[in-house]
Amino acid sequence: MITLTNVIDAQNLLGETALHLACLHANKYVADLLLDNAADVTLLTTKGLSAYDYLKFSNELCVDRKRLDPKIRKPKFIALGSKKSKSSRDIGKSSMSNATNSFLIEALDDLEKNYSKKSIDRRNRRNSISSCSSAVDEESGVKSSVDPPRSSSTELKKIATKKENSIFSMIFEFIEKKMESGSDSDEKETKEKSKTDVKKKKEKKLPNPIFYETAEEKMRRYEIVTDNLMKSLPKSQPLRSRKYNPGDSYHVLSLDGGGVKCIYQTILLRKIVTEIPEFFEKIDLIAGLSASSLICASILLGYDLNFIEKLMEVVSFETFKSESHLAGIAGHQFSNKFMKMLAERMFGDRKLSDLTRDCSIQSFLIDSGKYSNLNLRNSKAMLFNNFESKYKLDGYLRDVCLQSAAAPGYFDPLNNHVDGSVLVNNPFFLSYPLIIGEYGMAIPKAQLVVLSIGSGYPNVPYYDIEEMGDAGLVQWLIKLSDFTIFARKEMAVTESKVILGERYHRLDPKLTTDVEICDSKNIPIVKQMAEEQDLSETLAWIKKYW
């Protein structure tokens, strides 16, 4: 029989153990039970997160944080049902067997009951833990057929009859097969390891208090960070007004969205301006979406690029901290409260129409409102701009920028708007009809000169056909979001080059490593790659066409 430790430390496809899930869902009974039975607190998920990290994602601290700190010794093994005063040498094989079955049934059943809703049939529950559990079976090779329950446990028989309706059906099957393949030798090794761990004494380390802030403390910290940032704001003047004259070139700077990777763009722009100081003076239009919308507005307001770089670093660091359960599966993953506070301080009541140069920022309105005329209630692309045209669409800068950056799954929609990159993550491509169109500004196509800056070309710019060729719906769903964004962006770049020829220049250097757009730990890597980027080809193009 497999040892209790090997069973309770079993991990799913995401690397989560029962202890991870108990901490995430604030189930004190199960968490304490696991810890009392020597659950391994050092195990990490595929994202490098421990049970200690999962605890801080929860709305309630259900267990003493010190018990989860890997710097502190693991607890002594206590067989379920035995008294705490009972010596470990009195725990026999029979006791261990009963404890194993009883522990598994009670722990998993308690987790299930704690999060099921009476009004929803278990067959129809949309529970992300169920999907993760299913993934465990698929990876571990467990068959869909249910093995006969162990006759040594009457409770296990009862649970087995409910497997088809249980969100933990795959976990039960996985555990049963592991238990049947175990041996008594594992039991002895577990006892010896537990005794050794008990003897080890490690220095206590106080947890980082920032992980356990109350809502009031967090808002206060946001205020302090915003105050300090605004104090460092250099005096600036908006870019001088520039009027387009027919026959002149119309210069467009386009900045893709990219989360943390938008810091990459600020450094590239700083390097360009260092070599060509008059670069901004010749810009007629700046187009951006998602996080780059903040960069667009800041440039037009005359903020220094060093400050804008610092601004994007602070925004990334304060924003990309997990706020909700299940890493965005059951709710938004991050909060935009800091961005709201900062945008209100920086932009105030300024509107797009107050800017001295043309500006275009896109978002997507997912619902025009349940109180609108039912015949008119819809979803539509919102191409905010200050153009002198029939399709001028004005708005407060603070709202327009944050609406464009409300990426689905990462943030809640703002004013019913979501991230503009769901349209196409290429703001020039979205602005093009408004620039040359009869109902737009009617700029001749031959006069357009466009510098389009991406947030870094993927390190692996393809989807392995050997991996995805026979993929099913589940495998495709995991990659579908990134896949469609990448596909539309590639289409936009190709069509822009076909339309404008050499007057369109794409600066989107291939990244030396993969970078997550929502991980502030990637900031140093992003900055280093940008500083080392060779811009000789881009600088030569600017000098020729700009």
DSSP structural state of residue 515? -
Q: Are 302 and 237 in contact (CB under 8 A)?
A: yes
Model pLDDT, residue 515: 80
Among 151, 168, 145, smallest CA distance to 16 is for 168
Least confident of 3-7, 164-168, 351-355: 164-168
Q: What is the pLDDT of residue 74?
A: 45
3-class DSSP state of 249: coil
Cβ-contact 264, 455 below 8 angstroms: yes
Residue 72 confidence (pLDDT):
62
261, pLDDT greater than 50: yes
DSSP annotation string for 365-413:
ES-S-TTS-TTT---EEEEEE--SSTT-B--BHHHHHHHHT--BTTB--
Query: Residue 405: what pLDDT?
Result: 94
Over range 452-474, report the average pLDDT: 81
Q: What is the phi/psi pair of residue 382, to 5°?
A: -115, 105
83-103 residue pLDDT tens? 333 333 333 333 434 444 444
Cα 276 from chain centroid (whole Å): 36
Query: For residue 409, what are its two tokens?
Result: 């799954």
pLDDT of residue 423: 94
Cα atoms found within 13 Å of the Cα of residue 274, Cβ hemisphere only:
11
DSSP single-letter state for residue 351 = B
For residue 60, pLDDT over 80 is answered with: no
Please name the fold of domain 213-463+502-545: Cytosolic phospholipase A2 catalytic domain (3.40.1090)
Place of tokens 């393809």: 462
**Across the chain, what does the average pLDDT equal?**
76
What's the pLDDT at 105?
46
Strand partners, 393: 385
> Amino acid letter at 366?
I
| pLDDT tens digit sequence for 113-164 | 544 443 344 344 334 333 333 333 333 333 333 333 333 444 444 444 443 3
- Mean pLDDT throughout 26-38? 84
**pLDDT > 80? residue 303:** yes
What is the average pLDDT across 451-457? 92
Q: Is 131 helix (H, G, I), strand (E, B) or coil?
A: helix
Average pLDDT, integer, range 433-458: 94
Q: Give counts: helices (H), strands (E), the chain.
A: 21, 7
Q: Tell whether the model's pLDDT for residue 344 goes beyond 80.
A: yes
Burial of 44 (0-12, 13-18, 19+ CB in 10 A): middle
Residue 11: name the closest of 50, 37, 38, 67 by CA. 50
Q: When comparing pLDDT for 257 and 65, which is higher?
A: 257
| CA dist 219 → 55, 230, 324, 370, 534 (Å) | 21, 16, 17, 31, 41
Give 377-428 pLDDT, tens digit per residue.
899 999 999 998 889 999 999 999 999 999 988 888 999 999 999 999 999 9
Q: What SS3 state is found at 206?
A: coil
Cα–Cα distance measured from residue 279 to residue 286, given in angstroms and rounded to the nearest whole number = 12
Q: How confident is the model at residue 503, as a pLDDT?
A: 98
In percent, the amount of the chain with pLDDT more than 70 equals 69
For strand 417-419 and strand 380-385, is the pairing parallel, antiparallel, or unpaired? unpaired
Look at 11 and 308; give whichever has higher pLDDT.
308
Cβ–Cβ < 8 Å for 404, 392: no
Q: DSSP 3-state assignment of 453?
A: strand
Query: Per residue in 11-24, pLDDT tens?
Result: 887 888 888 888 88
What is the structure's pLDDT at 326?
47
Dihedral sign from CA coordinates of 134, 138, 141, 147: positive
Helix, strand or coil, per DSSP, at residue 452: strand
Mean pLDDT of 315-334: 66
Domain boundaries, the chain: 4-209, 213-463+502-545
User: Confidence class of residue 276 from pLDDT cuts 50, 70 and 90?
Assistant: very high
What pLDDT was estimated at residue 482? 75
Tell me the average pLDDT across 524-533: 91
Instruction: Name the DSSP class of 281.
Output: G
pLDDT, position 212: 52
Q: What is the pLDDT at residue 190? A: 54
| Angle between helical axes of 292-300 and 262-275 (0-180°, round to 10) | 30
Per residue in 220-234, pLDDT (tens digit) is 989 999 999 999 888
Query: Which phi and psi (to 5°) does residue 316 adopt?
Result: -65, -45
Per-residue DSSP letter, 164: G
More confident residue, 354 or 47: 354
Q: Are strands 380-385 and 285-289 parallel, antiparallel or unpaired?
A: unpaired
Global pTM reads 0.61
Mean pLDDT score, 357-368: 96
Site of tokens 């009392």: 36
Query: 4: pLDDT confidence band, cut at 50, 70 and 90?
Result: low
Mean pLDDT value across residues 232-254: 91
Query: Would the pLDDT of 361 be above 60?
Result: yes
Question: pLDDT tens-digit profile of 180-214?
Answer: 554 444 555 555 555 555 444 444 444 444 445 68
Rounded to the nearest 5°, which phi and psi values hold at 255? -120, 115
Q: What is each CA distance from 189 to 10, 196, 420, in whole angstroms? A: 17, 11, 56
More confident position, 411 or 352: 352
Backbone φ/ψ region at 453: left (φ over 0), alpha (ψ -120 to 50), beta: beta
Question: 38: left (phi > 0), else alpha (psi -120 to 50), else beta?
Answer: left
Catalytic residues: 290, 419
